[in-house]
């Protein structure tokens, strides 16, 4: 039993004529009649008495008609609800984010997304870049937000912005001054570093090496929040992303812009090549871009 057979059957029953039903369904009359006969063969009963140019429902046809009408109505309703849900941004979005971005950028983005699409379901996975890339490729994630570079043949990388890295020092530190400094001034400073398990930790280390600066690392931490607290306790200075500075409302720290060279990182969304992008994903991309810009501006970076 196929849906188009039920549609032809209902049309013939309501029109009382195979010819009129074929016109309503925009098919040839022999094709419509053939499909109704196939439906009768499938069910093992006659649905119509053929009376010259007209048709009359049999007992089996009268029993099937309300059932067929209900099935077709449910199919139409399902299609309409599906289109409305997609157009309204409903549905489910599984998002991945690295730990040096997730706590700063995701909360305002997800809050805005819930306002725009209150019926949506959002699932967040926080993990390291390598595992997020694998999850995108395996379609476990719809989208991931990381920093670049990302090099994988099955991952589309869409850069949504760039943020500076700032030097954070205790508020009373001699470098606090006018809020600016040269990277070379870090040579004599004890430093708190983010672990190399994070791509940001690797990027900071590589940037300092290129600039010929090798800070005297006294402590390594796996969380940016721990790095900030250690700096607050005067354990050393650190390079941190602007979004972390924008979200730090506690006293005791000063954030300095590096004048030259200027360290920064690109923020990007990762999509699986060849996979359809959900409507919620487009909204997420727009909101992530807007909120990233706002965080960077708030940090003065």
168 contacts 245 by C-beta, under 8 angstroms = yes
pLDDT attached to residue 89:
58
* Mean pLDDT on 88-96: 81
Q: Tokens 């409903």 appear where?
A: 90
Report the share of the chain in percent with pLDDT over 70.
97
* Mean pLDDT on 201-206: 84
Lowest-confidence pick of 13-17, 100-104, 175-179, 280-284? 175-179
176 contacts 256 by C-beta, under 8 angstroms = yes
Digit-coded pLDDT (tens) for 256-284: 998 877 888 999 999 999 998 888 899 99
Measure the CA–CA gap between 128 and 197, rounded to whole angstroms.
8
Measure the CA–CA gap between 143 and 269, rounded to whole angstroms.
7
Measure the CA–CA gap between 227 and 240, rounded to whole angstroms.
9
Q: For residue 178, name the pLDDT band (cuts at 50, 70, 90).
A: confident
Question: Cβ of 178: how many Cβ atoms within 10 Å?
Answer: 8
6 contacts 25 by C-beta, under 8 angstroms = no
Measure the CA–CA gap between 138 and 275, rounded to whole angstroms.
11
Digit-coded pLDDT (tens) for 34-62: 999 999 999 999 999 998 778 999 999 99
Question: Cβ of 121: how many Cβ atoms within 10 Å?
Answer: 11
Angle at 253 between CA 249 and CA 258, to 5 degrees: 110
Lowest-confidence pick of 20-24, 185-189, 261-265? 185-189
Lowest-confidence pick of 24-33, 144-153, 207-216? 207-216
| Residue 238: both structure tokens together | 């650190």
pLDDT attached to residue 23:
94
pLDDT attached to residue 200:
87
Query: Which is it for the CA torsion 56, 61, 63, 68, positive or negative?
Result: negative
pLDDT attached to residue 88:
62
Measure the CA–CA gap between 246 and 294, rounded to whole angstroms.
9
Domains of the chain: 3-87 (1.10.10.10), 92-160+266-298 (3.40.190.10), 164-264 (3.40.190.290)
Report the share of the chain in percent with pLDDT over 90.
64
- Average pLDDT over the chain reads 90
Q: Which of 56, 60, 63, 6 is nearest to 32 (CA)?
A: 6
Q: Is the pLDDT of residue 188 over 90?
A: no
Q: For residue 301, name the pLDDT band (cuts at 50, 70, 90).
A: low
Q: What is the 3-state secondary structure (H, E, C) of the chain?
A: CCHHHHHHHHHHHHHCCHHHHHHHHCCCHHHHHHHHHHHHHHHCCCCEEEECCEEEECHHHHHHHHHHHHHHHHHHHHHHHHHHHHHCCCCEEEEEECCCCHHHHHHHHHHHHHHHCCCCEEEEEECCHHHHHHHHHCCCCCEEEEECCCCCCCEEEEEEEEEEEEEEEECCCCCCCCCEECHHHHHHCEEEEECCCCHHHHHHHHHHHHCCCCCEEEEEECCHHHHHHHHHCCCCEEEEEHHHHHCCCCCCEEEEEECCCCCEEEEEEEEECCCCCCHHHHHHHHHHHHHHHHHHHHCCC
Measure the CA–CA gap between 85 and 95, rounded to whole angstroms.
19
pLDDT attached to residue 214:
79
Q: Tokens 């909120």 appear where?
A: 291
pLDDT attached to residue 185:
81
């Amino acid at each position: 039993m196929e849906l188009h057979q039920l549609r032809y059957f209902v049309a013939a029953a309501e029109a009382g004529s195979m010819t009129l039903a074929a016109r309503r369904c925009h098919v040839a009359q022999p094709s419509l009649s053939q499909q109704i006969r196939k439906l009768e063969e499938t069910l093992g009963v006659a649905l119509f008495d053929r009376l010259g140019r007209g048709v009359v429902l049999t007992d089996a046809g009268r029993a099937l008609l309300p059932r067929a009408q209900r099935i077709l109505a449910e199919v139409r309703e399902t299609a309409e609800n599906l289109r409305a849900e997609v157009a309204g941004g409903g549905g489910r979005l599984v998002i991945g984010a690295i730990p040096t971005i997730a706590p700063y950028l995701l909360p305002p983005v997800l809050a805005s997304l819930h306002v725009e699409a209150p019926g949506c379901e959002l699932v967040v996975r926080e993990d390291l870049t390598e595992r997020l890339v694998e999850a995108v490729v395996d379609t476990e994630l719809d989208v991931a937000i990381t920093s670049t570079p990302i090099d994988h043949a099955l991952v589309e990388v869409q850069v949504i912005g760039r943020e500076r890295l700032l030097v954070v020092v205790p508020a009373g530190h001699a470098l606090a001054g006018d809020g600016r400094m040269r990277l070379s001034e870090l040579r004599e400073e004890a430093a708190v570093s983010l672990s190399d398990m994070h791509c940001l930790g690797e990027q900071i280390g590589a940037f300092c090496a290129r600039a010929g600066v090798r800070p005297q690392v006294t402590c390594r931490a796996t969380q940016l929040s721990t790095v900030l607290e250690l700096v607050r306790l005067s354990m050393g200075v650190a390079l941190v992303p602007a979004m972390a500075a924008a979200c730090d409302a506690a006293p005791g720290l000063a954030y300095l812009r590096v004048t030259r060279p200027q360290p920064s990182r690109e923020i990007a969304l990762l999509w699986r090549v060849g996979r359809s992008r959900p409507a919620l994903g487009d909204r997420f991309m727009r909101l992530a871009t807007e909120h990233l810009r706002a965080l960077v501006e708030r940090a003065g970076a």
